[in-house]
């Protein structure tokens, strides 16, 4: 399952890199080296393995292959393995879809600083459907309250921060992503998503600042929201499977 997830991750990394060219271009065309333009062949595209064999460089020109692509492949593989190990089979399609969408959103945000509306919408619609068709999902009421509370709270925070500081602190994509995640985790688990995401972002800011917090440093919040949201969605379904509470 991990190998299949890594193959999905290879596709997601390509889509993330090409996203500014448009969704259609991102999902079509042959893979090529960003430096020399040479079309890559199958041996060059084996997820994770090709990077190790080629030491992270293009076979044809020696240009470096972005490390983020390998991280996306590893993340997508981890999603597949963790879901199969920890969730009941009825939840697998839903959690795999959510996990891989979140990996893609995180990669696009990290590369380009955007969280595309159509991907947030896909996460929201699939979250709505999961409330009724995934037996381990939160109750529809809990999920809907989670989504509304998350979106409303983050929208208020974004508006308040911009009003006080005169600059944007949370983008509209973060608000929409949080609203979609609220559907997946429900109102009860929602605070943990915020705590985990904020903690990860703060730790990153401290590490990048050499132990000092720089309020002017930009930290992409989308990847942290994605990781925390997926973790809590999975944990909630695992708890439902074994009958334990949070």
Confidence of residue 131 (pLDDT cuts 50, 70, 90): very high
Q: What is the mean pLDDT of the chain?
A: 84
Nearest CA to 219 out of 112, 110, 103 is that of 110
* Predicted pLDDT of residue 43: 63
Asked whether residue 94 is domain-assigned, the answer is no
Distance CA 13, CA 73 (A): 7
> Which whole number is the average pLDDT over 145-152?
94
> Which whole number is the average pLDDT over 147-157?
91
3-class DSSP state of 32: strand
* Predicted pLDDT of residue 50: 74
Q: Which helix (H) or strand (E) segment is 19 a member of?
A: none
Do 78 and 135 lie in a common domain? no
Query: Residue 224: pLDDT above 70?
Result: yes
Distance CA 80, CA 239 (A): 18
Query: Residue 166: pLDDT above 70?
Result: no
Asked whether residue 29 is domain-assigned, the answer is yes
Asked whether residue 101 is domain-assigned, the answer is no
Q: Structural domain of residue 210, as residue ranges? A: 116-246
């Amino acid at each position: 399952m991990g190998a299949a997830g890594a193959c999905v991750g290879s596709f997601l990394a390509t889509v993330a890199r090409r996203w500014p060219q448009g969704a259609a271009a991102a999902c079509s065309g042959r893979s090529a080296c960003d430096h020399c333009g040479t079309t890559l062949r199958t041996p060059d595209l084996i997820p994770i393995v090709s990077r190790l064999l080629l030491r992270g460089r293009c076979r044809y020109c020696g240009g470096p292959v972005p490390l983020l692509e390998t991280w996306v492949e590893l993340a997508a593989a981890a999603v597949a393995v963790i879901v199969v190990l920890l969730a009941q089979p009825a939840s697998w399609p839903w959690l795999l879809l959510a996990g891989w969408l979140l990996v893609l959103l995180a990669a696009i945000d990290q590369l380009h600083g955007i969280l595309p509306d159509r991907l947030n919408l896909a996460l929201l619609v699939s979250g709505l459907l999961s409330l009724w068709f995934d037996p381990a999902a939160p109750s529809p009421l809990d999920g809907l309250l989670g989504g509304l509370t998350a979106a409303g709270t983050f929208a208020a925070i974004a508006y308040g921060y911009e009003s006080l500081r005169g600059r944007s602190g949370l983008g509209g994509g973060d608000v929409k992503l949080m609203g979609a995640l609220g559907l997946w985790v429900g109102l009860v688990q929602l605070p943990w998503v915020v705590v985990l995401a904020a903690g990860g972002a703060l730790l990153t800011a401290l590490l990048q600042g050499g132990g000092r917090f720089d309020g002017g440093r930009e930290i992409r919040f989308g990847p942290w929201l994605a990781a925390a949201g997926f973790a809590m969605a999975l944990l909630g379904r695992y708890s439902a499977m074994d009958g334990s509470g949070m």
